[in-house]
Amino acid sequence: MRRRVRGPVVAAALAAAAALCALANVLAYGDIPAGVVADVLAGERSGQQAQIMWTLRFPQAATALLVGAALGVAGLVLQLVLRNPLAAPELTGVNPGAVLGLLLALVLGLTDAASAAGALTAALVGGLAGGALTWLLAREHDSAQLVVYGLLCSALLTGLTTMLLAYQPSRFGNALRWLVGSVEGRTWDHLAVAGPWIAVALGCVWLGSAALGVLGAGDDHAAALGLPAARARGVALAGAVALAAGAVALAGAVAFVGLVVPHLARAAAGSDPRFGVPAAAALGAAAVTGADALAQLGSRWLAAEVDGQRLGLPTGVVTAVLGAAALVLVVRRGGRGAAMERTAT
């Protein structure tokens, strides 16, 4: 009974937090008064400040929101369906595969960086291939070994990515942008393709979240309720890959969001995916926008206090540092639960 009240309230609170983080993200530069945001939202586009706001800062904030929501939900789906608390897009070969697919398509000239649809397709193909590789290798082992095989695949794919990045460094600029992810420099053109894609995929996952809950309870349970477990699992995994690929096409492999956010979402909204999915989306969005605001503050501090020749902090670095800390907490708290889940499978 307590949970029924808790779910929607928590989801609403998290959505509000995400909106606040987006605002913080827009204002993190500190050079434009907050009132301009209201003007731009009201339709005001003239004036230099409003222009900067509308063409640079708003797309960046929207990218962060979308990427966070996509990665958070992708991680939740993977963890539920694979029944492994460490199954995340970056540990199952999906994110590294998507990055490799994207860079490979750019190097081979199959698409160019300006084409948002091409980038999305390449990331999608790569993400599917990376996930499929992990699944092929790990399918005969139990779900506990899955992450280890997934990690090996991820390291293999990252090795190939590194080779590409070193082969044509001038072409990709800052390699970290791809390896740890960054939401900087995205425009409305990029969002026009990947935005609806992520939004539709999120909607589909949410509509299917009841089935996800059944699937998460076990194959026998699903079969007893008339759900074809194998097919449902395939569809759910495809949805997770679609979300992760959309995020990678927008921002590269933003690390640790898909790993940590689902645990936080479950702690906040309970284990029912009908509440867990919106909570993971809102929490992921808040996490990435918040991390981006911190990254911008950090970059400005480095440029001002250390020297102007330093690189900027990519968003993914902040999520990685905070995520690493959160991971330790999750592991400490969830170790016993994880062990129980493993024995249950």
Partner 1 sequence: MSGRTLTGRADEAVAGAARSRGEVPTLLAAGGMFALLLGLGAVALSLGEPVIGVHRLPAVLAEGDGLAYVVLWELRLPRLIVAVLAGAAVAVAGLLMQEALRNPLAVPELLGVSGGASLVMAMIVVWGLPVPLGLHPAAALGGALAGGAVCLAAARLGRGAESVLLIGAAASTAVQALTLAVLSTASRLQYDSLFRYLVGSLTRMTWEHVAQLLPWTLLAVPLTLLAMPVLGLLRLGDDAAASLGVRVGWARLGLIALAALLVAGVVGPCGPIAWVGFLAPLLARRLRPSADARGWLPWTALIGALVTLGADQAARLVFAPVETPLGAWTAVVGIGTGLVLLRRSARPAPAAAEEVAR
Chain residues binding partner 1 by CB under 8 A are 86, 90-91, 137, 140-141, 144-145, 147-149, 151-153, 155-156, 158-160, 162-163, 166-169, 174-176, 179-180, 255-256, 259, 302, 307, 309-314, 316-317, 320-321, 323-324, 327-328, 331-332, 335, 338-339
| Beta carbon nearer to partner 1, 137 or 227 | 137
Instruction: Report in angstroms the alpha-carbon separations of 90 from 5, 204, 259.
Output: 33, 22, 8
With tokens 């029944």, the residue in question is 83
Rounded to a whole number of angstroms, the minimum distance from the CB of residue 171 to partner 1 is 12
Instruction: Please state, in angstroms and rounded to a whole number, the distance separating the CA atoms of residues 327 and 71.
Output: 16
**H/E run at residue 113:** none
Contact present, 165 and 175 (Cβ < 8 Å): yes
With tokens 């979300």, the residue in question is 243
| Beta carbon nearer to partner 1, 126 or 208 | 126
Rounded to a whole number of angstroms, the minimum distance from the CB of residue 322 to partner 1 is 10
| Beta carbon nearer to partner 1, 12 or 166 | 166
Is 122 buried (19+), middle (13-18) or exposed (0-12) by CB count in 10 A? buried
| Beta carbon nearer to partner 1, 165 or 191 | 165
Rounded to a whole number of angstroms, the minimum distance from the CB of residue 287 to partner 1 is 15
Is 115 buried (19+), middle (13-18) or exposed (0-12) by CB count in 10 A? middle
Instruction: Report in angstroms the alpha-carbon separations of 163 from 112, 121, 169, 251, 314.
Output: 19, 22, 10, 20, 21
Contact present, 66 and 191 (Cβ < 8 Å): yes
| Beta carbon nearer to partner 1, 52 or 338 | 338
Rounded to a whole number of angstroms, the minimum distance from the CB of residue 283 to partner 1 is 19
- For 163, the token pair is 């080779």
First to last CA, the chain: 28
| Beta carbon nearer to partner 1, 181 or 239 | 181
Rounded to a whole number of angstroms, the minimum distance from the CB of residue 23 to partner 1 is 25
Rounded to a whole number of angstroms, the minimum distance from the CB of residue 131 to partner 1 is 15
